[in-house]
Amino acid sequence: MSEKMQYIPIAKPWMGEPEAEAAKRAIMSGWVTQGPEVATFEQEFAAYVGSKYACAVSNCTTALHLALLAVGVQPGDEVITVSHSYIATANSIRYCGAVPVFVDIEPQSYNINPVLIADAISDRTRAILVVHQIGMPCNLKAILDVAHQYNLPVIEDAACAIGSEILWDGQWEKIGKPHGDIACFSFHPRKVVSTGDGGMLTTNNPEWDKQFRLWRQHGMSVPDTVRHGAKQVIFESYPMLGYNYRMTDIQAAVGREQLKRLPEIVERRRYLAQRYDQQLADVPGLKLPTEPTWARSNWQSYCVRLPEKCNQVQVMQVMLDAGIATRRGIMCAHRESAYQIEVWSCGTSREACNCELGKCDRLVESEQAQDHAIILPLFHQMTEEEQDRVIAVLKSVCQVGV
Ligand SMILES: *Cc1c(COP(=O)(O)O)cnc(C)c1O
């Protein structure tokens, strides 16, 4: 990398004075957690995605944990999901003492292949946890068809999918309405909007929403806000085992500002993704992401599959030497040592499983995607000049081959 060349990061949150002012407002108010900013952020979030309820929590992993508990996942149950996701997806299932049963992905969308779900269902299956990977909506229509057939709840891991849309009965609707039973979002800085850390659960079921609110605050029967405002002495009780999964008001205040920016962020990301599409279209052997006619991605990440002759690590190194950050394709949980104990984690028949760590006959597409795809820089503030540099370097490595 030459001296004057600016480093292009993989992502960068778009935040500034309004977020700083909002954080200050929460701090100066004297109420810094689980107070009015959280309540307002929840209302604004629900209005944005079109859900009846939204409950803020500490991050998306805790949101997934509570969603699984709400639909009744218990120790020994199985939950169908993908290995090809950030490890938090599968981990949340294990927090319930349940077993993740991994289904392979479709190579084009990097999302769960709905055709393979029925085969993975057993009499221990308690739920289906699907992912809208890197912001691209998964095929919810097909997934819900199978789920209804087997009477299983569907949880959407929408960690990356705030602002993504799906065509539903002729209307474009936001991911998180929800179309399954519960959707879970993340506000980690690597996502499209951020509160530092943070998460949100959306549902149309009032009982589950009530449950989430109890669980996130130690199972405490009286919320702080109610006790604070009470004219009479009240004692809280703890009727169930809860957790500390609270979001702070400082985070929520920042989140409210981020939500205001969201339409502009999505528009910009869609523009930049389209620019990648156009300018990389003629690179021989390079496979670009495709958006189904029924989906609109927020392009949380733009993932390309490299030509056969290219080595993933070497391409990434050439780009890094040119001052451009990339990431490998999305990880596969089943290849990590943390999942070695689960000899059954690849599919339905544990007895018949001959898989080794890092190689599973039933998860070939997932492994291929991890090994041959790379994620290119894409963020709101990225200039066209910066993007042109990414395109030029990638084009030249693909043509020469490494
Ligand atoms: C980021 C991510 C998570 C975890 O979100 P946190 O807010 O960091 O807990 C879960 N699932 C997917 C698909 C993610 O990308």
Q: CA Rg, the chain, in Å?
A: 22
Pairing of strands 199-203, 373-376: unpaired
Active site residues: 191
Q: Which ligand 1 atom lies nearest to the CA of residue 160?
A: 15
For ligand 1, say whether the CB of 318 is within 6 Å of any of its atoms. no
For ligand 1, say whether the CB of 85 is within 6 Å of any of its atoms. yes
Residue 231's contacts (CB-CB under 8 Å, 6 or more residues apart) are none
Q: Rounded to the nearest whole angstrom, what is the distance from the C-alpha of residue 332 to the centroid of ligand 1?
A: 14
CATH number (3.40.640.10, 3.50.50.60, 3.30.300.30, 3.40.50.450) of 17-400 reads 3.40.640.10
- Determine the Cα angle at 242 with ends 238 and 247, to 5°: 115
pLDDT at 348: 44
pLDDT at 337: 85
Q: Rounded to the nearest whole angstrom, what is the distance from the C-alpha of residue 4 to the centroid of ligand 1?
A: 35
Q: Which ligand 1 atom lies nearest to the CA of residue 199?
A: 7
Q: Rounded to the nearest whole angstrom, what is the distance from the C-alpha of residue 186 to the centroid of ligand 1?
A: 6
For ligand 1, say whether the CB of 199 is within 6 Å of any of its atoms. yes
pLDDT at 351: 53
Domain regions of the chain by residue span = 17-400
pTM of the model: 0.96
Q: Which ligand 1 atom lies nearest to the CA of residue 88?
A: 10
For ligand 1, say whether the CB of 188 is within 6 Å of any of its atoms. yes
pLDDT at 357: 65
For ligand 1, say whether the CB of 63 is within 6 Å of any of its atoms. no
Q: Which parts of the chain register pLDDT below 50?
A: 343, 348-349
Q: Which ligand 1 atom lies nearest to the CA of residue 61?
A: 9
Query: 64-74 pLDDT, tens per residue?
Result: 999 999 999 99
pLDDT at 228: 84
Query: 107-138 pLDDT, tens per residue?
Result: 999 999 999 999 999 999 999 999 999 999 99
**β-bridge partners, 172:** 167
> Do 27 and 20 form a contact (C-beta atoms < 8 A)?
no
CA distance 246 to 10: 29
The residue to which tokens 């544990």 are assigned: 350
Ligand 1, atom 2, lies closest to the CA of 159
pLDDT at 224: 80
pLDDT at 343: 46
Query: 207-266 pLDDT, tens per residue?
Result: 999 999 999 999 999 888 888 888 999 999 999 999 999 999 999 999 999 999 999 999
> Do 87 and 157 form a contact (C-beta atoms < 8 A)?
no
